[in-house]
Amino acid sequence: EDKKIVDLTAWLAGDGIIGKIDHSPDEPVQENVTDSTCYAEGSYEEVVLIYGKLSMKHCTVNGATNYGVFVGQDGNLSAFENNIVKNTKCPLILSNHKQVNNLGTGNAYSNNTKNMIEVDNYWLDEDNLTVTYNNQGVPYYLTAGVHVDGTAAMNVNAGVEFVLAYDQNVSVTNN
């Protein structure tokens, strides 16, 4: 089987946009299939997006000693579907609530130390912003709780489970 290894070094140092790929968007492929170590060429501990836009479909992140996928406060997670994140400390870290809107279906999280999707932000107060939490098969871990304010809205669909960090809460005002 022909496996393609992609070097993300230039991409991570650049504008965060991956260039043209040699397969159709609906075609499942394996990229960066080298087991993660600090030393193997083509191996990455985690996918980290601080700035820029990331669309991640049909990918596997396996064996990261830290986080599987980390999306920073200014990162734009435009799509996340049909991915497998396994054998990591925590499969997915989102730095704000609106990033959950683009969590698609078909994702699988298994054998992670903390098998939850971590959301690290308190305020949900952007005018007219609606955030929808969909069932991903694992709980959402709210490290700072959540405060919905102003004209922002938070929808929670059936089957969604929240775990709140110690001494955190969910509060809603003005709605």
Residue 66: both structure tokens together: 């830290």
Q: Can you give the pLDDT at residue 17?
A: 47
pTM of the entire structure? Answer: 0.72
What is the distance, to the nearest Å, from the Cα of residue 39 to the centroid of all Cα atoms in its chain? 25
Q: Can you give the pLDDT at residue 76?
A: 84
Per-block mean pLDDT, blocks of 10 residues, the chain (175 long): 48 48 55 45 57 84 82 84 89 86 92 91 83 94 88 92 91 77
Q: Residue 118 phi/psi, 5° resolution? A: -90, 130
